[in-house]
Chains A and B, each alone.
Chain A
Amino acid sequence: MLNLMSLNINTPPTSAPVSRRFALVGGLAVAIIIIFFVLPGLLLASDTNTNAPAATARASEKKPVRQLSGAELYAIHCNRCHQERYPEEFNQDRWKSLIFHMQVRANLPAEQARIVLKYLQDQSGN
């Protein structure tokens, strides 16, 4: 991080009204509540709505659950924090070490990490 103290800062900024500050913080609090609690609830409800007859009917027609592929799990887990690395960037041994590292750092499930590793090793070409 840039050391702001080294940039010879001398000009003090002006203050904002306190009421504006509270409004801002309040708005953020509402946004956080929505992000944390309302949105997940809606997502879960849309996924597991078992009370409605229509939902029951849909459940009976539900397709068999498909196991996610290594490429899909790679896109889901890795791309949420950084750009995807190409499988050819590392060899099989390197990928194994990197996946171990990411399994700890990003708390990846072991079984899914193994599937992703197999995908990367198969595609690594070396």
Chain B
Amino acid sequence: MKIHSTVLGLVAAGCSLGLTLVPSAQATVSDDDFNALKDLVTKQGQKLDQLEKVHTQDQQAHEQDQQKISQLQQQLSQTQTLATNAVAKAEAASQIQPIYPAPNPAPRATHDFLVTGDAEVQYGKAAGGNGTFGLADFAPIFLFRANDNVLFEAGFDVTLENNVDGNGNPSGGSSTAVDLSFAQLDYFLNDYVTVVAGDMLLPLGTYSERAAGWLNKIPDDPLVRDYLPGSGIGAQLRGAIPIGSGAQLMTYSVYGVNGPSSTSLTNANAGNLDLEGNVGDTQNWHSNPSGGGRIGWFYPWGLHYDVELGVSGQTGQWSDYSGSYLWSAAVLDAAIHLSPYFEVKGEYVNTWQQTDNAGTLNPNGVWVQAGYKLAGLKKDFPVINNLELVGRYDYQNDNQGSIADRYTSGFVYYFSNTLLFEGDYEWYLVHGQNPNGYPPSLFVLQLSFGF
């Protein structure tokens, strides 16, 4: 703008000077003066051209500067937007963070996942029946140790079953059954208390907690265990308290579970007791849960010389149809080891069931089992040293007119510490009715593997 004004000023001044001086110039201007004036005008024209070029260049530079300024303004705007967003995100993140973070007892990654368990194949033949491979069982236990205080464990039973119709006749094919044996969270509160919650194996006696196929030395469960639930949904406190400086100890378990239920909502008759139902996918089938527990005493007086005694029980409603009907159980358990080769263990079970149609029933029973490892004979026979002889007596009384005695003798051959071949022969004596269809005799072979 400044250059433009100067040029115009010079042009105006030149014109004014020319007009003013013309009359006198005609009279007085010589050729030299005219030529000088002509050169002057020519030079001024050249300067004017140069100034116009400079002006054009200045305008171009100005436009370029304007473009750069515009770009810089856009970049600044973007930077401001990013900064604003970053502040907003930081504020949002600070609001998401808990004000009081939950304690994390694991200072580093300490978790571990492990699969253990057992598998069995069983062959059986009952007197009067056909022999069959009656069981192929895969029973994994999943252990997830989250840290030094938390363990989650879940056990399954995966088996094959023949498809049958409504009358029990073969209908072709087979299906796979997957049963959840237990699924529980263990929280080690301190050295003396462990909190357990979930689907728990119940400490009614010791059998259900120590009954994996490669642990028990006889394939069949004791008959009287039919009168007890194997597991229950609920919570439990358990632990052990050492006595003295040796390995003697007291153990305890206290729990609350949904408890047994009824298969009928319209009566509380004897046959409707459901020990394994009421697992929590609906509201409780009755108004009150069940409570139970076990107290045990373990006294070792040498390596492989020990005695363990336990008292356990459970009580609670099984039906609240027009009143309150209780189911209760008491179990005494005992185990003795006399050397690495000889053991005796057993349980006495008594239950009470209040009913609408039969008063209070009192199903009960007992089992006692003994085992002797022939390695105790100190003979140098490899086959003999891997053999254990076992025997068991069962008694079962349903208090409804059926009593069964069962005598079992058998063996365990240890291929290794976890691969066992078991065989036993069983004699049944049933007095009165035979609702369970017990045969006169039965033999069972089983291959068990613990992993």
Complexed CA–CA distance, A106 and B296 (Å): 11
Known: A1-B221, A4-B126. A86 touches B417 (CB 8 A): yes
Of A10, A14, A40, A80, which is within 8 A of B429 by CB?
Answer: A14
Q: Is A53 part of the contact surface with B, judged by Cβ < 8 Å?
A: no
Q: Is A93 an interface residue (CB 8 A)?
A: yes
Please give, as numbers and ranges, the residues of chain B lying within 8 Å of A35 by CB-CB distance.
309, 334, 336, 344, 346
Q: Is the CB of B129 within 8 A of A97?
A: no
Q: Given that A13-B434, A82-B215 are known contacts, is A97 also in contact with B143, CB under 8 Å in the complex?
A: yes
Binary B-proximity of A84-112 (CB < 8 A = 1, otherwise 0): 11100000011011101101111111111
Known interface pairs A4-B439, A7-B134, A77-B247. Does A83 touch B414 (Cβ–Cβ under 8 Å)? yes
Q: Please report which residues of chain A, range 61-92, place their CB below 8 angstroms from some CB of chain B when the two chains form the complex.
A: 65, 67-68, 72-73, 75-77, 79-86
Is residue B51 contacting chain A, with contact meaning CB distance below 8 A? no
Q: In the complex, are the beta carbons of A107 and B239 less than 8 A apart? A: yes
| B100: chain A residues within 8 A (beta carbon) | none
Tell whether, in the assembled complex, residue B431 and residue A6 are in contact, meaning their CB atoms are under 8 Å apart: no
Interface of B is mostly: strand
Contact of B332 among A16, A32, A73, A83 (CB under 8 A): A32
B389 interfacial contact with A, CB 8 Å:
no
B308: Cβ under 8 A from any A Cβ = yes
For the complex, give the distance between the alpha carbons of A72 and B305 in Å: 12
Q: Cβ of B304 < 8 Å from any Cβ of A?
A: yes
Tell yes or no: A2 within 8 A of B by CB: yes
A111 B242 Cβ-Cβ under 8 A: yes
Say if the beta carbon of B421 comes within 8 Å of chain A: no
Q: Are A43 and B130 within 8 A (Cβ)? A: no
CB-based contact A21/B403 at 8 Å:
yes
Q: Is A3 an interface residue (CB 8 A)?
A: yes
Decide if B247 touches A2 in the complex (CB within 8 Å): no
Q: Which of A6, A18, A101 contacts B134 (CB 8 A)?
A: A6
Please determine whether A4 and B437 come into contact, CB atoms closer than 8 angstroms. yes
Dominant SS at the A interface? helix
A90's nearest neighbour on chain B, judged by CB, is B114
User: How far in angstroms is the closest Cβ of chain B from A55?
Assistant: 16
Q: A13-B438, A80-B308 are in contact. Are A107 and B240 (CB under 8 A)?
A: yes
A13 engages B440 (CB within 8 Å): yes
B-chain residues with CB within 8 Å of residue A39 when the two chains form the complex: 307, 336
The interface residues of chain A lying within 8 Å CB-to-CB of B132 are: 6-7
- Tell me whether B129 and A7 are in contact (CB under 8 A): yes
Q: Are A9 and B126 in contact (CB under 8 A)?
A: yes
B125, A7: Cβ atoms under 8 Å? Answer: yes
Minimum distance in angstroms from B100 CB to a CB of chain A: 29
**Nearest opposing residue in chain A for B404, CB measure:** A13
Contacts of A85 in B (CB 8 A): 417-418
- Which residues from chain B sit less than 8 Å from chain A, CB to CB? 112, 114, 116, 122, 124-130, 132, 134-135, 141, 143, 145, 151, 153, 162, 186, 188, 190-192, 194, 196, 201, 209-210, 214-215, 219-221, 238-242, 244-247, 249, 251-253, 296-297, 299-301, 303-304, 306-309, 332, 334-337, 340, 343-344, 346, 348, 366, 368, 393, 395, 403, 405, 414, 417-418, 428-432, 434, 436-440, 442, 444, 450
Question: Which residues of A are at the interface with B, using a C-beta cutoff of 8 A?
Answer: 1-16, 18, 21, 24-25, 28, 31-32, 35-36, 39-40, 43-44, 47, 65, 67-68, 72-73, 75-77, 79-86, 93-94, 96-98, 100-101, 103-112
Top 10 A-B pairs ranked by shortest CB distance? A110-B191, A107-B251, A7-B129, A83-B417, A7-B126, A8-B129, A15-B431, A109-B240, A9-B439, A97-B145
